A and B are shown apart, each in its own frame.
Chain A
């Protein structure tokens, strides 16, 4: 029994199970969100970092596999499990990737709700301001008519004096 490989494989299997779980959550959210309005908002926040995590972890994986290949090619029995270590880092990176996107999708849903609320309040404000404007314009027109009538009275007085 090769203890290291067994241990490594079982740890990887557990990590993969977690990744699968988060991925399933994401897929479910995409399904619920028919118009994908939430996902659109999401991409601004957590997603760039998620891609960065994936990039860095797969870079480590690549390095590990490359070192492993070189060691095997040169037949050096220094440490055989570089690529196994690489796989673990890759899985951890993938897990953070899935976790972040999963978080981002929920955040996006919240933000979407908040945005709708703010939109409604803005609409109400606009309506209020329009009503106020109408009121002001009505008052202005009333004042104008009063002024006009005053002018007319003055003119008639002048005519009488003349």
Chain B
């Protein structure tokens, strides 16, 4: 059981690092392109709208996940807590996908 927990934590750390890297690079890309004509044009076209829609769905799932987490804390169910942890990794995956896509287009 401990090994599974470690695996979950490590995958969370990895995905969070990926988000951090992608959004940091996106920051520099936008900052370097001082007129931001290129960046803004690419970002506005088709990306932003659908990315934020994707986030919206992800956040709804995350809200449900945290409720499950809280219930797991109340009834002290380890399985529920673990399920919530896996779900959090899944939601982070959605964010990672969105940020990576933005970064890819802003280059």
Which residues of A are at the interface with B, using a C-beta cutoff of 8 A? Answer: 1-10, 12-13, 16-17, 19-20, 23-24, 26-27, 30-31, 36, 39-44, 47-48, 51-52, 54-56, 58-59, 61-63, 65-66, 68-69, 72-73, 75, 83, 86-87, 90, 94
Contact = CB atoms under 8 A, between A and B. Distances in A.
A15 to B, nearest CB: 9
User: What is the predominant secondary structure among interface residues of chain A facing chain B?
Assistant: helix
Contacts of A2: 73-74, 76
B100 interface: no
B65 to A, nearest CB: 9
Contacts, number: 149
A9 B66 contact: yes
B43 A1 contact: no
Given A23-B56, A62-B20, A30 B76 contact: no
7 contacts: A13-B63, A39-B43, A54-B19, A66-B13, A69-B6, A83-B9, A86-B12
B30 interface: yes
Interface of B: 2, 5-6, 9-10, 12-14, 16-17, 19-21, 23-24, 26-27, 30-31, 36, 39-41, 43-45, 48-49, 52-53, 55-56, 59-60, 62-63, 66-67, 69-70, 72-76, 81, 84, 88, 95, 99
A9 B59 contact: no
A27 B51 CA distance: 10
Contacts of B75: 1
A54 B99 contact: yes
A117 B39 CA distance: 25
A62 B6 contact: no
A40 B63 contact: no
Contact of B16 (A24, A40, A59): A59
A43 B40 contact: yes
B44 to A, nearest CB: 4
B53 A27 contact: yes
Which 6 residue pairs are nearest across A and B when measured between Cβ atoms?
A69-B9, A5-B73, A6-B73, A62-B16, A9-B70, A9-B69
Contacts of B67: 9, 13
A13 B66 CA distance: 5
A79 to B, nearest CB: 14
A19 to B, nearest CB: 6
A126 B9 CA distance: 64
A4 B72 CA distance: 12
Contacts of A90: 16
A55 B63 contact: no
